[in-house]
Amino acid sequence: MSANTAPAVSRPRRTTFLSFSPPSITEAEIEAVVNTLRSDWITTGPKTKRFETEFAAYLSAPAALAVNSCTAGLHVALVASGIGPGDEVITTPMTFCSSVNVIEHVHATPVLADVEPDTLTLDPARVAEAITPRTKAILPVHFAGHPADMAPIMELARQHNLLVIEDAAHSLPASYRGQRVGTIGDFASFSFYATKNLTTAEGGMLVGSPDAIDRARVISLHGMNRDAWKRYSAEGSWYYEVITPGFKYNMTDIQAAIGLVQLERLAEMQQRRREIVAQYQQAFSQVDALQTPVERPEAESAWHLYVLRLSLDRLTINRAAFIEQLKARQIGTSVHFIPIHLHPYYRDKYGWKPDDFPVAYQEYQRTISLPLYPGLTDNDVADVIAAVTDICEEFRR
């Protein structure tokens, strides 16, 4: 055993499967949904409006628009920004497909720039190399909850007159240089999917300037100049006009009811996430076959994901076999992400090859996301640590 390798923890194997990332739902959320169902309004209405207001206040953002997904928010942001055919948008290969799909949806061209080796977020130096006269926007993704290095990205945007649209799906409530992530660029879109730090089951929030959000609001609901809540309220009118061909991207009051409670609980849920991360970091930093995730001094990660990296040269098994070993020990995992340029649609359309973005490609092959959510008990965390360290010892090269 290496002097830098911690001994395997002597602990009986689990007999029940530990899910990767179930939502944290309490009786308070359930009661809020029931109360909404018993009210006169279950689709977009007063609770959605309140959720927008309270979420914007939490971030110190000027305005917010509740939508049915982060993807919808990104799509609306691109449309509201006038990005379309002939335009280029620079983003990262280390993201879920939705970040790039929305660029295709507006018939613009996605341009990938590689990621930084430590945070796996968009590398500003690679962004600078990718800018052309056709570039109209940069779409950084705050990977796993750690902010992208926004200062040089914003400086590039200023120099080249580019928009910055933050994909903040992972990053509530991350901070960068003391500023909440999501309030740095021109737009930011958050995800409230079931696995996220704050959930509404499905849903998202787009934030930006009041004028930008006003444009986005019209686009997000059929292009109508008056939404249903205004039309059907006591002060409303039946008359409306369609001023642009919009989409059906609105959030419901049922979802917003969950979100309002989750927002109240966010601080306590984040505290538990950080406690779990501290246990993981302490244990795994002692194992020479593992590389733990970083948190840069200028950043506060949201710790949406705990992405561990395997030092494969110190193991006799690959990442796929490591995941199977964890599964055999009743530990659920995931991988974030299969890089964009490896997916057949993008690979074939743009002719991208695996080594075109070497950092993303190489790091993808050795990442594993471990369970990280507020409902994990200390015993659960100990089981994860024991399983990982046991595998590293059993398959040590």
Does 196 qualify as catalytic in the annotation? yes
Catalytic residue among 47, 49, 136, 196: 196
Spell out the SS3 assignment of the chain: CCCCCCCCCCCCCCCCCECCCCCCCCHHHHHHHHHHHCCCCCCCCHHHHHHHHHHHHHHCCCEEEEECCHHHHHHHHHHHCCCCCCCEEEECCCCCCHHHHHHHHCCCEEEECCECCCCCCECHHHHHHHCCCCEEEEECECHHHCCCCHHHHHHHHHHHCCEEEEECCCCCCCEECCEECCCCCCEEEEECCCCCCCCCCCCEEEEECHHHHHHHHHHHECCECCCHHHHHCCCCCCCCCECCCCCECECCHHHHHHHHHHHHHHHHHHHHHHHHHHHHHHHHCCCCCEECCCCCCCEECCCCCEEEEECHHHECCCHHHHHHHHHHCCECCECCCCCHHHCHHHHHHHCCCHHHCHHHHHHHCCEEEECCCCCCCHHHHHHHHHHHHHHHHHCEC
Active site residues per annotation: 196
